Amino acid sequence: MSAFTIDHRLDESVTVTADGTALFTYTYRPDTVQLESPKPYLHPLRTLGGDVVSLFRPHDHVWHKGIAWALPHVGEHNFWGGPTYVQKPEDAPGQGSYVQLENNGRAASSALTELVADKDSARIAHRLDWTTQQGDLVIQEQRRISAGIAGDGEAWVLTFETAMTNVSGAAISFGSPTTKGRENAGYGGLFWRGPRSFTGGVIHTPGASGGEELRGIREEWMGFSGQHDESARWSTVVMVDARENPLHPPQWFARNEQFACLCPAPFFSEEFGLPAEQTLSLRYAVVIADGMDSREDVTRLASWGREALS
């Protein structure tokens, strides 16, 4: 395996390449419109073999962008994008609706503080200011993203680390549509949206492989195997939650029927309160492989993600 290299488009994006394959582009200063809650995102993501395993701005949810750190309910603010789920007092339980409000915040990046590539890895770090649609600063975040090869060159691992400090001057709470009343819709956090052709793919957990009946379970990791158009090849993505994360193991938001997605959702069914000037830290590994869609292989991928976090 050749050394990692970085192509930096100043004030826009970073592309990380290994062995001739552009593994991912991290757009840290996007030109996203306010309605989509502007934030950095990773897209395209590729396997070592070059197959793309992410989707950008699908027509059903244009605010879905590859992998992004996206939070739908931070106090009254929406850092996910699009409408907000609202449960009014007069609504029957679970019968709220999505309403477009003037609450789409943004996560804006300062200059990169680390940008390093060597033989074994690539590392990116920066600070982000989370502001409301009205321009009020709520959170200051320190973020680090790194990439390395896993196994004997059989896969690669993306690690994502965030430390979010509440600078709003008051306590804030992180939640989800489920904490607001919508059943089994606890998305929010590190969200991966897979290619269209992955629809109908297989969701994996430590104890089972199947479909959307696995949404909402608590596990240390979850994976997704999907098939590509044209080539008919399979790829697998496994997301691993760090054991020190709050509310570990998380509940998972996952879909495979209408579209492919995975999200270790730390605020799925329980709000998390963060006092003023306190910091919430979370770490994840995302393992990406060509093939590797058997239960034995997926378990190996998860172990490599755990190693990357240790």
pLDDT, tens digit (0-9, with 9 covering 90-100), for 256-282: 999 999 999 999 999 999 999 999 999
Tell the burial category of 153 from Cβ atoms under 10 Å away from its Cβ (0-12, 13-18, 19+): exposed
Return the CA Rg of the chain: 18
Beta strands in 95-233 (DSSP E): 97-99, 106-117, 121-131, 137-150, 155-166, 172-175, 189-193, 202-204, 209-210, 221-227
Residue type, 87: Q
pLDDT at site 8: 97
Q: State the residue range of the domain holding 160.
A: 4-309
The answer to whether residue 146 scores a pLDDT higher than 90 is yes
Read off the amino acid at residue 305: G
As a whole number, mean pLDDT of residues 194-199 equals: 98
What distances in angstroms separate CA 58 from CA 34, 61, 62, 70, 215, one per listed residue?
17, 6, 5, 16, 21
Residue 1 has pLDDT above 60, yes or no: no
Average pLDDT of 145-155?
96
Does 283 score more than 90 pLDDT?
Answer: yes
Instruction: Give how far Cα 191 sits from Cα of 41, 67, 146, 252, Å.
Output: 10, 5, 17, 10
Q: Does the pLDDT value for residue 51 go beyond 80?
A: yes
Please tell me which residue, 87 or 67, carries the higher pLDDT value.
67
pLDDT in tens, 224-251: 999 999 999 999 999 999 999 999 999 9
Q: Look at residue 157 in the predicted model and tell me its pLDDT.
A: 98
Give the chain's mean pLDDT: 97
pLDDT in the model for residue 21 = 97
Give the number of C-alpha atoms closer than 13 A to the C-alpha of residue 230, restricted to the C-beta side.
4
pLDDT attached to residue 2: 62
Report the domain count for the chain: 1
Give the global pTM.
0.97
What pLDDT score does 95 carry? 83
> What's the pLDDT score for residue 100?
97
CATH number at residue 246: 2.70.98
30-34, 86-90, 131-135, 172-176: lowest mean pLDDT where? 86-90
Give the mean pLDDT of 183-210.
98
Query: Residue range 19-41: average pLDDT?
Result: 97
Q: Which residue has the higher pLDDT, 87 or 136?
A: 136
- In the structure, what pLDDT confidence band is assigned to residue 89 with cuts at 50, 70 and 90? confident
Give the mean model confidence (pLDDT) for residues 148-174. 97
* CA atoms 108, 57, 190, 101: torsion sign: positive
Interatomic CA distance for residues 261 and 280, integer angstroms: 24
